[in-house]
Amino acid sequence: MNKRSVRKRPREFGVDHRFLATEEADRKEENEMYLPAITGSGVFTPSETITNAELVESFNAYVDIYNAENADQIAAGDLAAKDYSSEGFIFKASGINQRYVIDKKGILDPNVMHPLLRQRSDDEPSLMAEMALDAANKALAAAGKTAADVDAVICAASNLERAYPAVAIEIQELLEINGFAFDMNVACSSATFGIQAAADMIRSGSIRSALVVCPEICSAHLEWRDRDCHFIFGDVATAVLIERSENAAGPYFEIKSTRCATDFSNNIRNNNGFLRRSRPDGVADRRDMQFMQNGRKVFKEVLPMVSAHIASQMADEGVQASDLKRLWLHQANKSMNDFIGKKVLGRTPEAGEQPNILQDYANTSSAGSIIAFSKYSDDLEDGDTGLICSFGAGYSVGSVIVQKHG
């Protein structure tokens, strides 16, 4: 897609509240709220992959270049030499075998070590919008709906490629949706926070449905020159359509309960922002302008937070561990998921109960739990209960209890 599609019908700004107001009045008389449901999901997967072997070869070539260029300082003890990476180290630390990326050429070039993306004109769809459009159309098709059935678009992602106009509004434009749209960022928890926002609007009657899209170009904010994290992220986009359950055209997942929580921490941080050029050395090649984390502290502090969060929600909703047929967890690290799964279920999850996709996709930030849900939910039976959970920078954690119907 090189140019924006021409709108084929006149724009009608905002949601048509004439029929919504009538329906809402009827509901108020009956003291009844709408039941939100996930009716469709979709995943955009880039065509290019980077295996651990390719990544290690590139990284180690960079290490050789770096150590050679800084040999005198390293010999004098003024600078530490960089160490090689290995496939064994990567898999043991993460459980990742490969990752999908928008551009592998730049990432694997030891003299570049970041994606090389074409500069698009303002008249072209942005890259994030284009990715989200693909996932959104798949979600709509899965739900048996069209853009005419959608009232809102929420673009929930850990990074957005520009400050404004909102990427969500651009996606709304490309889909020709009459309604409203907005961006939101709660890092890796963005998807579940977006689902809660959409579900609350549907419960209240202010909208009929919403698309929650998560376009993640994580390769662009990863420091590929850092051995401790150079293997973590991949690129992807996901979308879920959330509707009133009564409007579902096929099987759906009723959103029984949502819960979000945050607790400030600097242990996962990225300092890049619009004030960068105004500060000393702001435009320099600084390490803090990309993804940074204190992995040991994150593991130690986030896991108890997430486990307690889920346990509290389940207790309040009367959901027992034996009721959960599926856990779709944030895909950050296999060890973290195994820990949470065991805490939530009270035992080691059986095969299929806690599907992981990070071995193929790596950590895709907010999109990870939705990829797992999209790929591993169709087999559930009517009445089965599952839980979607994401967690990460902030700290933040969001969880959604769903029940299959149909």
Q: pLDDT tens digit string along 334-385?
A: 999 999 999 999 999 998 999 999 999 999 999 999 999 999 999 999 999 9
Nearest to 387 by CA among 335, 310, 318: 310
Q: Please give the pLDDT value at position 20.
A: 56
Residue ranges with strand state E in 355-395: 385-392
Q: How far apart are CA 311 and CA 406, in angstroms?
A: 27
Predicted pLDDT at 159: 92
Q: What is the chain's length?
A: 406
**Domains, the chain:** 254-405 (3.40.47.10)
Query: Are residues 231 and 52 in contact, defined by beta-carbon separation less than 8 angstroms?
Result: yes
Compute the distance between CA of residue 290 and CA of residue 299 in angstroms, rounded to an integer. Answer: 20
Instruction: Give the phi and the psi of residue 298 in degrees, each rounded to 5.
Output: -60, -45
The whole-number pLDDT of residue 295 equals 87
Question: Which H helix or E strand runs over 157?
Answer: none
Active-site residue, 260 included: no
Torsion sign, CA atoms 152, 159, 215, 304 = negative
The confidence score (pLDDT) of residue 276 equals 87
> Which DSSP symbol is given to 120?
P
Instruction: Using alpha carbons, list the distances in angstroms from residue 261 to 143, 189, 213, 398, 403.
Output: 30, 10, 21, 6, 22
Asked if 223 contacts 229 with a C-beta cutoff of 8 angstroms, the reply is yes
Spatial separation of the C-alpha atoms in residues 89 and 48, rounded to whole Å: 23
Catalytic residue among 188, 214, 229, 389: 188
Instruction: State residue 288 phi and psi, 5-degree precision.
Output: -80, 0
**Amino acid type, 400:** V
Largest Cα–Cα distance of the chain, in whole Å? 80
End-to-end CA separation in angstroms for the chain: 36
SS3 135: helix
Query: What is the DSSP annotation of 160-180?
Result: -S-SSS-HHHHHHHHHT-SSE
Taking the C-alpha atoms of residue 368 and residue 356, their distance in angstroms, rounded to an integer, is 9
Two tokens, residue 278: 């105004």
pLDDT in tens, the chain (406 residues): 445 544 444 455 555 554 454 455 455 445 579 999 999 999 999 999 999 999 999 999 999 999 999 999 999 999 999 999 999 999 999 999 999 999 999 999 999 999 999 999 999 999 999 999 999 999 999 999 999 999 999 999 999 999 999 999 999 999 999 999 999 999 999 999 999 999 999 999 999 999 999 999 999 999 999 999 999 999 999 999 999 999 999 999 999 999 999 999 999 999 888 888 898 888 888 888 889 999 899 989 999 999 999 999 999 999 999 999 999 999 998 999 999 999 999 999 998 999 999 999 999 999 999 999 999 999 999 999 999 999 999 999 999 999 999 9
Q: What's the rounded Cα separation, in Å, for the pair 315 and 318? A: 5
Residue 158, SS3 per DSSP: coil
Alpha helix segments (H runs only) across 50-166: 52-69, 71-76, 87-94, 105-108, 127-143
DSSP 228: T
Whole-number Å distance between alpha carbons of 198 and 187: 17
Kind of pairing, strands 209-217 and 235-244?
A: antiparallel
